[in-house]
Amino acid sequence: MIVNEQVAVDHGLKKDEYAKICELLKRTPNITELGIFSAMWNEHCSYKSSRLHLKKLPTKGKKVIQGPGENAGVIDIEDNDAIVFKIESHNHPSFIEPYQGAATGVGGIMRDVFTMGARPIANLNSIHFGSPQNKKTKNLLRGVVHGIGGYGNCMGVPTIAGQTSFDSSYNGNILVNAMTLGLVKKDKIFYSKAAGLNKPVIYVGSKTGRDGIHGASMASASFDEKIEEKKPTVQVGDPFTEKLLLEACLELMAGDSIIAIQDMGAAGLTSSSIEMASKGNLGIEINLNKVPCRETKMTPYEIMLSESQERMLIVLENGKEEQAKKIFDKWNLDFAVIGKTTKSKKIELYFDDEKVADIPVNTLVENSPMYDRKWKKAKLPKKNKIKKEDLKHLKIIDVLKKILANPNVCSKEWIWQQYDHTVMGDTIQKPGGDSGVVRVHGTDKAVAASVDSSAIYCWAHPLTGGKQVVCESFRNLISVGAKPIAITNCLNFGSPENEENMGEFVECVQGIGEASEYLKFPVVSGNVSFYNQTKEEGIKPTPAIGGVGLIKNYQNMITMDFKEVDNIVLVIGKTEGHIDQSLFARNILDEKNGPPPEVNLFNEKNNGETLLKLIDNNLIKSAHDVSLGGIITAVSKMCIKGKKGINIKKPKYLINEIEYFFAEDQGRYIIEINKKDFKKVADILHKNAVHFDELGTINVNELYINDKTKVTIDELLTSNKSWLTNYMSK
Amino acid sequence: MKSSVITFPGSNCDRDMDVALKKFGFKNKMVWHADTELPKSDLVVLPGGFSYGDYLRCGSMASKSKIMQSVINFANSGGMVMGICNGFQILVETGLVPGVLLRNKYLEFICKNVFVKINDKKNKYFKNVDNEVLEFHIAHNEGNYFCTNDQLKEIEDNNQIAINYCDENGKIEDQFNPNGSLKNIAGIFNKEKNVLGMMPHPERMIDTSLSGEDGSLFFKNLINNLK
């Protein structure tokens, strides 16, 4: 095939990018080489629109062993233990083919983690769908949930937490972000940097097929009416093979024969070989005839661009081939020496005794395009003046029931019951709490993880929204008694070529950066997904934050269910009555304008750290952070989980009940304490200048408000639990 | 007491079972599916997971793997063999216990706590368990037990039903059946009651911090009965 500008454009490259390729190579690339450039230079692999801004994120900290740039981030959890974790998007393929798209998203992120030598110990996910009324939503949700379960369950890794939301902005572009945590010994972490000359380059895992060709390019473009045609670009997952690959890799890793290892994810053999060569400042020579293929007559172009799953590339020590092969034979996996490292600093590919590609590595990596895209700064919207008359006719209980049944607040049990969340026998906090918690096997330690996003806040004001998501992650970890350590981020946005979308990206990243810097909660890994857009319509900006924290003694973990009648319930943090962009304003008042709640980083840090002090002093019986739906929604969930009621009284300092109960001010938690501990708790809160309200006392089974209105917890449970089950069974 | 846990390609509850057996005093050995000889054992366990990816039919390929001939011989000579979840699916494929396991009635994987009523205590698995009802944990996609009318008659005549899904008070009704199993069957024995297949995972309930502790009860009792 003759390569020209049009062929390059069909590969998703811009005209000037093609010109640059010709200039770098000092010739016209052949079709295989063009394919390789298009795979490496697309948005998904090159981060060409985001690199400039991602550099500003804080990535270092005392507990950070490895920040961004490797397969996943690594943090220290003491005693020579480390946690490897990352979140990644699989948005585009999941919309085209929900089951396989979601399944391979889960498979891909687990590979990123075990590539580094870690055994995966927990999965999480953040999934976002269009409006429930949209005719595609139900099938997409079902397909994605089955896909996530299908892969994770078979791997035997518990799915311990997640987040699901519905918003019409995802009608044409759903989001599927998968996160995995793995456990590794600090001195047994593996990296992707190749080293040494003439070292054998090994291919292991599944055979290469024609699936997923151009997957990364597809994920770097907006959708139009022809998306159905893109089905062949979606990869097909085989969790069974991945389970074997996991066990085989960990068995090989127990020895000392691996120099570098890299999984074949987006852009398959192309990106894995180039990344290893680039990091090691070496060249790699590959004989493509040696690559195990599933189909006949595959061309070099197809072999290099296939995104077949469950494959790894390894640079081995000389002479260790036989020993390594034995392990892969035992697990019935392909093992092939396909090439070697060279000093050429080039990627040289041979096929049928002919050289089919010859590209200097730096042209693909360092010289890849980087854009300083134009972006528009967002203005902070004006506050709405909510008329008191509008609130007068509202009955708190009715509003509460509606909010508890709102698709974004309701119980997601229908989803997480389909995920095996107890395999491995260490899950001590299941989905449905503030964070999922797993024990570090055989120790007293436990690791907490949560995943959060707040697209509404980010859309209303990206800078504030970016900060808010990080703070929410911080709070969710603290609520279970974990000390927050670090985060991973999955940045889901519309087209970077649109100034407003790009502005949302830049300012969300700035917000994330400011909050993570202040809270000492650095970003250690992540992924950017642009072009979540159909024609001109992009999604609401949706950065998802995955947070990880440590509980030193798992016996001290906190859960959100109310524990005991007569215990006292307090609200930590001040309630100012911020209603704009709250679930209440948007869904009950139908008011969609206004700024999101303000984020005060000092209060976030101070309130959170003080709560951890209370937990350390064994003063907290249950805790839950206040988020969507405000105080009363948070309290109701604690009642439902604990099968207890509460008498609550609104403190006198705010005039309006509705504002107090439904406001979404930040930095707040609900805590349950024993009566006899009240003075101790109050002293600690006062001493640390943390505002608190006395909210009420736990009773047997009813929610009483200001001694006049009441509802049984069973009724609240029904409101909260039935929406999703009913929706999916209709 | 000596136990052996078989690891098939795709098993994923093998370690959990190893941990549980050791916790309650078994000396456990892990046995690879391609081996042909079983170590000397008082109990052999086929663990949960997705042996051979559950391809073809759950448990069918594993039932033909090399070690299984020894397991079958061991069972036929009266040895204690317990299959949990995928292990149960493997057992029905070998014919050691009657029936089949279909896809769950609502076509969805289910992971949750359930109650089961012990139907028969005249066997080494449940003898001396004080409770009538145990809280166990299930996690499966194909646990919908089914058999022919003739088989069912035989099973009932021989009192081969081990446990049935029920509510916390032991009431066995359709609404407490999580997967559509015939007669709410959660586990069955072979005729001689030395082979037990069951969908619930007692090994996930061996600690108050986990889903519950009735698994501890089960294992403590089991090792005592084997002594």
Q: Is the per-residue pLDDT at A220 higher than 90?
A: no
Angle separating helix axes A239-253 and A321-330, nearest 10 degrees: 140
Shortest distance, CA B138 to any CA of chain A (angstroms): 9
| Percent share of chain A, pLDDT over 90 | 91
Shortest distance, CA A243 to any CA of chain B (angstroms): 6
Task: State whether residue B112 sits within 8 Å of chain A by CB.
Answer: yes
Query: Measured between CB atoms, which of A150, A421, A423 is closest to B13?
Result: A423
Cα dihedral A146/A151/A155/A158 (nearest 10): -50
Shortest distance, CA A641 to any CA of chain B (angstroms): 15
Residue A212: band (very low, low, confident or very high) from pLDDT cuts 50, 70, 90: confident
User: Which of A 132-161 lie inside 8 A of B, CB atoms?
Assistant: 146, 149-150, 153-156
pLDDT tens for residues B88-130?
999 999 999 999 999 999 999 999 999 999 999 999 999 999 9
CB contact under 8 A, B110 and A417: yes
User: Residues of B with catalytic annotation?
Assistant: 85, 201, 203
| Percent share of chain A, pLDDT over 70 | 99
pLDDT at A226 (0 to 100): 75
For B160, list phi and psi in degrees, rounded to 5: -90, -10
Task: State whether residue B66 sits within 8 Å of chain A by CB.
Answer: no
Shortest distance, CA A329 to any CA of chain B (angstroms): 12
Q: How many CB pairs under 8 A join A and B?
A: 85
Which string of DSSP letters, residue by residue, matches A631-684?
HHHHHHHHHHHHT-EEEE---TTSS-HHHHHH---SS-EEEEE-GGGHHHHHHH
Query: Measured between CB atoms, which of A241, A244, A422 is closest to B111?
Result: A422
Chain A positions in Cβ-Cβ contact with residue B110 (cut-off 8 Å)? 417-418
Chain A positions in Cβ-Cβ contact with residue B203 (cut-off 8 Å)? 425
pLDDT tens for residues A335-375?
999 999 999 999 999 999 999 999 999 999 999 999 999 99
Pair A581, A456: CB distance under 8 Å: yes
Query: Measured between CB atoms, which of A149, A332, A554 is closest to B109?
Result: A149
Chain A positions in Cβ-Cβ contact with residue B206 (cut-off 8 Å)? 425
pLDDT at A222 (0 to 100): 76
pLDDT at A700 (0 to 100): 96
Distance, CA of A55 to chain centre: 19
Q: Which residue of A has its CA nearest to B137?
A: A422
CB contact under 8 A, B19 and A425: yes
Shortest distance, CA B110 to any CA of chain A (angstroms): 5
CB contact under 8 A, A427 and B210: yes
Mean pLDDT over A32-43 rounds to: 94
Query: Measured between CB atoms, which of B49, B109, B209 is closest to A156?
Result: B49
Task: State whether residue A236 sits within 8 Å of chain B by CB.
Answer: no
**Three-state secondary structure call for residue A694:** strand
Task: State whether residue A730 sits within 8 Å of chain B by CB.
Answer: no
Catalytic choice (A11, A44, A53, A461): A44
Q: What is the pTM assigned to this prediction?
A: 0.96
- What is the complex's ipTM, to 2 decimals? 0.97
Closest CA to A206 of A254, A242, A181, A167: A242
Task: State whether residue B208 sits within 8 Å of chain A by CB.
Answer: no
- Token duo for residue B45: 């366990």
Chain B positions in Cβ-Cβ contact with residue A239 (cut-off 8 Å)? 50, 53
Mean pLDDT over B160-173 rounds to: 98
pLDDT tens for residues B29-72?
999 999 999 999 999 999 999 999 999 999 999 999 999 999 99
What gap in Å lies between CA A601 and CA A666, rounded to an integer?
A: 10
Pair A189, A113: CB distance under 8 Å: no
Residue A459: band (very low, low, confident or very high) from pLDDT cuts 50, 70, 90: very high
Determine whether A90 is an active site residue.
yes
pLDDT tens for residues A675-689?
999 999 999 999 999
Mean pLDDT over A386-406 rounds to: 90
Determine whether A92 is an active site residue.
no
pLDDT at A141 (0 to 100): 98
Catalytic choice (A11, A53, A90, A92): A90
Task: State whether residue A481 sits within 8 Å of chain B by CB.
Answer: no
Give the list of residues 6+ apart from residue A613 with CB closer than 8 angstroms, or none: A684, A688
pLDDT tens for residues A486-522?
999 999 999 999 999 999 999 999 999 999 999 999 9
Mean pLDDT over A524-552 rounds to: 95
Pair B192, B78: CB distance under 8 Å: yes
Q: Which of residues B82 and A225 earns the better pLDDT score? A: B82
User: Which of B 46-65 lie inside 8 A of A, CB atoms?
Assistant: 48-50, 52-55
pLDDT tens for residues A252-265?
999 999 999 999 98
> Which residues are A335's β-sheet partners?
A204
Q: Is the per-residue pLDDT at A384 higher than 90?
A: no
Identify the DSSP state of A572: E
Task: State whether residue A421 sits within 8 Å of chain B by CB.
Answer: yes
Which string of DSSP letters, residue by residue, matches A292-318?
-BSSTT--HHHHHH---SSEEEEEE-T
pLDDT at A216 (0 to 100): 66
Q: Which domains does chain B have, with CATH numbers?
A: 2-226 (3.40.50.880)
Q: Which of residues A229 and A650 earns the better pLDDT score? A: A650
Q: Is the per-residue pLDDT at A653 higher than 90?
A: no
Pair A186, A65: CB distance under 8 Å: yes
Pair B132, B171: CB distance under 8 Å: no
Shortest distance, CA B91 to any CA of chain A (angstroms): 19
Q: Which residue of A has its CA nearest to B35?
A: A330
- Token duo for residue A331: 């697990």
Query: Measured between CB atoms, which of A331, A418, A425 is closest to B9?
Result: A331
pLDDT tens for residues A136-192?
999 999 999 999 999 999 999 999 999 999 999 999 999 999 999 999 999 999 999
Chain B positions in Cβ-Cβ contact with residue A154 (cut-off 8 Å)? 10, 12, 50, 53-54
Query: Measured between CB atoms, which of A243, A418, A428 is closest to B10?
Result: A243
pLDDT at A358 (0 to 100): 97
Mutating which of A153, A206, A414, A429 best tests the B interface, going by the most B Cβ atoms within 10 A? A153
Q: Is the per-residue pLDDT at B154 higher than 80?
A: yes
Task: List the alpha helices (DSSP H) in A228-317.
Answer: 239-253, 268-280, 300-305
pLDDT at A156 (0 to 100): 98
Query: Measured between CB atoms, which of B19, B110, B210 is closest to A428?
Result: B210
